[in-house]
Structure 1
Amino acid sequence: MTIFLVSPDELQLNISAFHILDTRPYVHYLEGHIPGAVWMGWDIWCEDAPIHAGSALKQPGYWGVLNDDAPEALADTLGQFGVSSERPVLIYADGPRSKGREARVAWMLLYFGLPSVSLLNGGWSTWLRQGGDIQTTISQFSYSRIRLNIQENRRVRLHQMLATMKQGSHPLFIDTRCYREYIGQIYDYQPRLGHILGAIHLPYTDFFDDEGYFVTRDAYFQRLPLEILSASQCIPYCEVGVRSCLFALLHELYTGQVIANFDGSLMEWALDETLPMEL
């Protein structure tokens, strides 16, 4: 179970081989999408924010903890999107402007145990530039059955991190947000501003080249802080565990190492005022 990249050219040649998921905002899907693509939002799979969280965090997309409490119901819902273990899934969004939507859905499906998950390299804009066909009607698909096979090594939860840290182990936190978020200059709806104490900064935009493709393996290693290669445990995060998936999956693609994503990310960490942060 790993992640793959598929180019627009490869997809055009083998489009029938994939069950395609469009993870852009639904309004953009309705305006036009890759033929056969089914819309799937990343935030519909999340838990509700805690009761003591502010009203902003209770809006869709502002709380990132994945809800996997009812595996049978999850499998049924995935089937309603046509997702099957028997057919490879290809996921796309629209490059850096989508801030990791496609990676979050890909990470989730890999966590659920799907054997073949791919990302469209370059996303929607590149598909258009290369003359890909456009469909404006909602895609029809068959209901599928899927059995989940949870891959716990792909996810790290807050209570697990705190237990490990209490035993004296200190992971390297990787903040994949933009620099102004990292130093606490924007988004004051967050419980606290700044970053997790000691976290290094590796913005998600570093994972794309100027044309919206994912960076090559060589470019990835050129941009990778040396601390990551020597760390015994790396934990990527962002605001709600979406942009952090870009790092986790590209790192896996280019090194073969599975990195666990902190899906609760800064929203969950900052909500607990006892946990250390800095500007």
Structure 2
Amino acid sequence: MSWLISAAELAARCAGESRPRILDVRWTLATPDGRADYRAGHIPGAVYVDLDAELSDHAVGGAGRHPLPAPGALQAAARRWGLRDGDPVVVYDDWNALAAARCWWLLRSAGVRDVRVLDGGWSAWLRAGLPSETGEQAPAPGTVTLTPADPGRTVDADAAAAVAADPGGLLLDARAAARYRGDEEPLDPRAGHIPGAVSAPTTDNLNPEGTFRGAAELRERFAGLGVGAGPTAVYCGSGVTACHQILALAVAGHDAALFPGSWSQWSGEPARPVATGPQPG
């Protein structure tokens, strides 16, 4: 299935009998609490999702800045959003899908089969001249049953290092190139990248207006980076934007595992080696 949905297609589905559940994941590094923006205007019927409180578990120590939520906590959150088994789900944000992809990855990993990301997000909806509403949705509690994620969907720090060292494997670093090189590190304990990882900024997955590049373009991009038959894993700063890379890989027809702790975990463990410069090294 396609993992993306256009604004026009979503509007058509909202007008039909199989209206999807819509989740608004407003979150950026600058504005981690997007509820005010959500209340000021959102897609009709959309329910706000709090990335920090519902898509992360900050009570977990030593697992980076955005540890994954426990399966039971995610299921409780999904029921608060009104999800039921079999519901089609669409997630969006106003940050080029960087936050929405985290919700997409979690729900997909937990067994929700029909979950898509609005291509271009809130901006695409507004550009299309489609209706919005203000205030806050309070849906009836859902009854969805989520499943624990397949262990193959994630890797820990040791497994990420093994993928990077595997001649047939590929570990992609989804952060900006300057952070990969170690020129700057605004958030985490040390600058640089995991030795052997290949720089693959998420910005290169997108067209100028913030929609995803086509599947053929993405296949060409990832082939150039070395994606092949071997294992592929992805990390970023804290396990959020790496999900955007996994979404782009899925659009291109590739599976990849997430290193949830990402650079925030790796750089916080002094015994872990760090590489700098433009090469995997």
Q: Is the TM value for this pair above 0.5?
A: yes
- Superposed CA offset, 1:4-39 (max 9, x none): 211111111111611000111222212210000001
Q: Give the distance between the partners of 2:91 and 2:7, measured in 1 at CA.
A: 12
Equivalent residue number for residue 118 of structure 1:
116
Distance 2:11 2:267 in 1: 44
User: After the TM superposition, which residues 1-279 of structure 1 pair with which residues of structure 2 at under 5 Å, given as runs?
Assistant: 4-15=3-14, 17-24=19-26, 25-44=34-53, 45-48=55-58, 63-68=65-70, 71-96=71-96, 100-152=98-150, 153-158=152-157, 160-161=159-160, 169=166, 171-230=169-228, 232-255=230-253, 257-279=254-276
Farther-moved stretch of structure 1 (224-233 vs 112-121): 224-233
Q: Distance in 1 between matches of 2:217 and 2:178?
A: 24
Structure 2 counterpart SS, 1:65: coil
Structure 2 portions without partners, runs of 5+: 27-33, 277-281
Off by >6 Å, runs of 4+ in structure 1: none
Distance in 1, matches of 2:135 and 2:122, equals 16
Q: Which runs of 5+ in 1 are unaligned?
A: none
Matched residue SS, 1:136: coil
Evaluate the alpha carbon distance shift between residue 206 and residue 266 of structure 1 in structure 2; reply closer, same or farther with a 3 A threshold: same
Aligned equivalents of 1:3, 1:103: Cα separation in 2: 14
- Offset, 1:95: 4.5
Structure 2: how far apart are the matches of 1:212 and 1:111?
25
C-alpha contact 1:21 1:91 (8 A) present in aligned 2? yes
Give aligned pairs, total: 263
Under a length normalisation based on structure 2, what TM-score does the superposition of the two structures give?
Answer: 0.85
Taking every aligned residue pair, what percent have the same amino acid on both sides? 30
Structure 1 residue 213: Cα displacement: 0.9
C-alpha displacement of 1:196: 0.7
Higher helix share: 1
* Structure 1 residue 132, shift from structure 2 partner: 0.9
CA distance in 2, matches of 1:195, 1:274: 14
What do the CA deviations read for 1:122-163 (whole angstroms, capped 9, x no partner)?
11111101101011121231101121222323222335546x
CA 1:110–1:130: 2 relative to 1, 3 Å: same
2: distance between equivalents of 1:15 and 1:201?
Answer: 39
Superposition CA RMSD, Å: 2.4
TM-score, with normalisation over the residues of structure 1? 0.85
